[in-house]
């Protein structure tokens, strides 16, 4: 079976933040007395990319990058000049699609006046603000370094600089949060008129401060009521839900995240960054991740020690990996894409599909993989049913 290479994205991890939040399980490192070696880190990112290009060779040939995402940590700790230098280096090494989406994650408490003009000039055309809440008490409980007023000011500053594509991250089911509190956060977000809202539940992840010392959180029923009410409020405001935690104005869906959920490919550079690449010639899907600690990553200087792990996804794991992403999409994906992206025949998942449909988890549609309302609520169970 001939397979087309899926779209290709680039993820760039910036590992430092001002302070580690107690709920965060990402690879982020709080600032210490000495400032991080920001400029030197840019050199190591480009060396990492050079090495990946050599390693993956033909699997990258003639494939334009459709999106770039700067994640963290707090990428906005890096100056516009450094982001500009990095993006220039990426353009020299990889072809970028004409309308490539380039997103920079931003903490409202770290941006200075005038920086957004610089990021825009560098080529960043989408800003994602980690607001989380517009309630100062909730922000303090979450360990955030900004206030609600600072968040609003930062968003307006980006808009004044010319940004027309802005995402706001919001969390719900926060410590001692009520339904009215959650709706108030959504209302204040919508009032700023972002093009996209990411709205997701606070969960207690292992190896976090919150997991070791859990705060008082709403129970599952109250969290579900918040989710449903906030979904309705966002829909009324013109934000269509297209993924379990993503809402967008028309034609403003996040291209980078859509590529993840559709089981597209992405290179990952930076400390702890993950990547996934399809090699159609070998019939493989390969995952690679980089050494997590910034110091060890930089000491590798683009050498093999920068690689924390590298493996081919087995045929037994591919159905689960595919569904873990694709079933997050509200509209689902064409059933034919399963074979196109994994190289496996549709018969491989026929029994699991039949079971999921009988349980009313998936719509009985021979052309489309799409969860029902019940399936969305019990999505983890649906995805687990595709484990070999």
Q: How many CA atoms lie within 13 A of 76 on its CB side?
A: 24
- Please give the pLDDT value at position 282: 77
Report the residue count for the chain. Answer: 388
Cα 141 from chain centroid (whole Å): 24
CB neighbour class for 241 (10 Å; exposed up to 12, middle 13-18, buried from 19)? middle
Span 208-252, pLDDT tens digits: 999 999 999 999 999 999 999 999 999 999 999 999 999 999 999
Query: Quick one: 186 exposed, middle or buried, by C-beta within 10 A (0-12, 13-18, 19+)?
Result: buried
With contact defined as beta carbons under 8 Å apart, do 277 and 267 qualify? yes
Give the pLDDT confidence score for residue 109 in this predicted structure: 86
Domains, in order of start, for the chain: 8-259 (3.20.20.70), 318-384 (1.10.10.10)
- Across 170-187, average pLDDT: 97
User: At 34, is the pLDDT very low, low, confident or very high (cuts 50, 70, 90)?
Assistant: confident
pLDDT of residue 299: 96
Position 326 scores a pLDDT of 96
> What is the strand order of the sheet 240-243 is part of?
240-243, 246-248, 196-201, 166-172, 126-132, 96-106, 65-72, 8-14, 265-269, 274-279, 284-290, 307-312
- pLDDT value at 286 more than 50: yes
Mean pLDDT across the stretch 10-30? 93
Rounded to two decimals, the pTM is 0.96
| Confidence (pLDDT) at 154 | 95
Q: Map residue 333 onto helix, strand or coil.
A: strand
Distance CA 198, CA 256 (A): 13
How confident is residue 4, by pLDDT bands cut at 50, 70 and 90?
confident
């Amino acid at each position: 079976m001939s397979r087309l290479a899926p779209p290709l994205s680039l993820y760039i991890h910036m590992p430092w933040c001002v302070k580690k939040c107690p709920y965060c399980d990402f690879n982020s490192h709080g600032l210490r007395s000495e400032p991080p070696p920001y400029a030197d880190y840019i050199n190591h990112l480009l060396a990492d990319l050079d090495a990946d290009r050599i390693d993956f060779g033909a699997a990258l040939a003639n494939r334009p990058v459709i999106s770039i995402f700067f994640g963290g940590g707090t990428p906005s700790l890096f100056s516009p000049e450094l982001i500009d230098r990095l993006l220039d280096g990426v353009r020299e090494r990889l072809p970028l699609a004409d309308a490539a989406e380039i997103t920079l994650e931003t903490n409202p408490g770290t941006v200075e006046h005038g920086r957004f003009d610089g990021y825009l000039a560098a080529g960043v055309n989408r800003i994602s603000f980690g607001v989380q809440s517009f309630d100062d008490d909730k922000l303090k409980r979450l360990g955030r370094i900004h206030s609600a007023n600072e968040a609003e000011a930062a968003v307006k500053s980006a808009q004044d600089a010319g940004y027309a594509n802005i995402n706001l991250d919001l969390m719900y089911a926060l410590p001692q949060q009520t339904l009215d509190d959650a709706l108030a956060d959504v209302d204040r977000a919508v009032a700023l008129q972002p093009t996209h809202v990411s709205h997701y539940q606070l969960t207690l992840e292992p190896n976090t401060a919150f997991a070791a010392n859990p705060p008082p959180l709403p129970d599952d029923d109250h969290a579900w009521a918040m989710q449903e009410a906030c979904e309705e409020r966002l829909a009324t405001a013109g934000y269509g839900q297209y993924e379990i935690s993503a809402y967008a104005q028309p034609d403003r869906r996040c291209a980078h995240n859509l590529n993840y959920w559709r089981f597209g490919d992405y290179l990952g550079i930076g400390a702890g960054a993950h990547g996934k690449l399809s090699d159609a010639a070998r019939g493989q899907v390969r995952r690679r991740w980089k050494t997590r600690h910034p110091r060890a990553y930089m000491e590798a200087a683009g050498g093999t020690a920068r690689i924390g792990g590298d493996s081919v996804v087995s045929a037994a794991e591919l159905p689960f990996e595919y569904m873990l992403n694709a079933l997050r999409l509200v509209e689902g994906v064409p059933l034919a894409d399963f074979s196109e992206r994994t190289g496996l025949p549709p018969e491989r998942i026929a029994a699991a599909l039949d079971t999921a449909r009988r349980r009313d988890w998936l719509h009985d549609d021979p052309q489309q993989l799409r969860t029902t309302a019940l399936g969305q609520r019990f999505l983890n169970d649906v995805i687990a049913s595709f484990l070999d």
